[in-house]
Chains A and B, each alone.
Chain A
């Protein structure tokens, strides 16, 4: 198995632009998590899904952030419009039991 796949690996955009991050979880995993990591705030859970259904989105910063999971093999995290304070590494992780398997992350820079 290739593990959790995220794209793009790096994204540089200008303030106000829409950003879409993509994630393909490990096949057979029924949980999918989106995290954001910054020096200031550490590793924060944004939202998680179980069987494609959003369970808890209390970590989503504001309405500019949205996430979808249309099927078991794909999820997106969208930021519209983006702001410089959104610059961070965004990780997707999946699991079917205890262990969470993280993807390589997307490093987002908003200028």
Chain B
């Protein structure tokens, strides 16, 4: 079964509001990746975090890797309609190449 959980499963926000999705793994991860999937599209790589406590920013997106390397978060500031989609975290639970994807958080923006 799933060993990488994300919450919330769904999030509806007004345009301009902030959004956060949380990712939790049952085991320590060597790294964590984030992907975005637009409705009807395919997952697209956003970023990889490797170090404990690492924080990376991409414009309005802030990614964080937990100190224990078992959790991560993605925060979007001032959401825009282009942010619509499902955000997945993914980590190598077994081995280095094989990723286990989280359950995903589906973001909907209310204009």
Which residues of A are at the interface with B, using a C-beta cutoff of 8 A? 31, 42-45, 48, 50, 55-56, 91, 93, 98-105
**Minimal beta-carbon separation of A38 from chain B (angstroms):** 12
CB neighbours of B100 from chain A (8 A) = 45
- For B31, B99, B104, the residue with the greatest tally of chain A CB atoms inside 10 Å of its CB is B99
Contacting pair A100 B45 (CB below 8 A) = yes
**Minimal beta-carbon separation of B90 from chain A (angstroms):** 8
Main secondary structure of the interface of B (DSSP, over half): loop
CB neighbours of B66 from chain A (8 A) = none
B59 contacts A by Cβ under 8 Å: no
Which residues of B are at the interface with A, using a C-beta cutoff of 8 A? 2, 31, 33, 41-45, 48, 88, 95, 97-104
**Minimal beta-carbon separation of B69 from chain A (angstroms):** 16
CB neighbours of A50 from chain B (8 A) = 97
**Minimal beta-carbon separation of A90 from chain B (angstroms):** 11
Contacting pair A104 B42 (CB below 8 A) = yes
CB < 8 Å A-B pair total: 43
Contacting pair B97 A101 (CB below 8 A) = no
- For B88, B95, B98, B100, the residue with the greatest tally of chain A CB atoms inside 10 Å of its CB is B98
Contacting pair A42 B103 (CB below 8 A) = yes
Contacting pair B42 A102 (CB below 8 A) = yes
Contacting pair B45 A101 (CB below 8 A) = yes
Query: Please, how many angstroms separate the alpha-carbon atoms of A100 and B99 in the complex?
Result: 10
Query: Please, how many angstroms separate the alpha-carbon atoms of A48 and B97 in the complex?
Result: 9
CB neighbours of A99 from chain B (8 A) = 33, 45, 48
A43-B101 in contact given A98-B33, A99-B48 (Cβ < 8 Å): yes
Closest residue of A by beta carbon distance from B94: A56
- For B48, B97, B100, B102, the residue with the greatest tally of chain A CB atoms inside 10 Å of its CB is B97
Neighbour of A42 across the interface among B2, B44, B95, B98, CB < 8 A: B2
Query: Please, how many angstroms separate the alpha-carbon atoms of A101 and B45 in the complex?
Result: 7
Neighbour of A56 across the interface among B31, B41, B88, B95, CB < 8 A: B95
Query: Please, how many angstroms separate the alpha-carbon atoms of A99 and B100 in the complex?
Result: 14
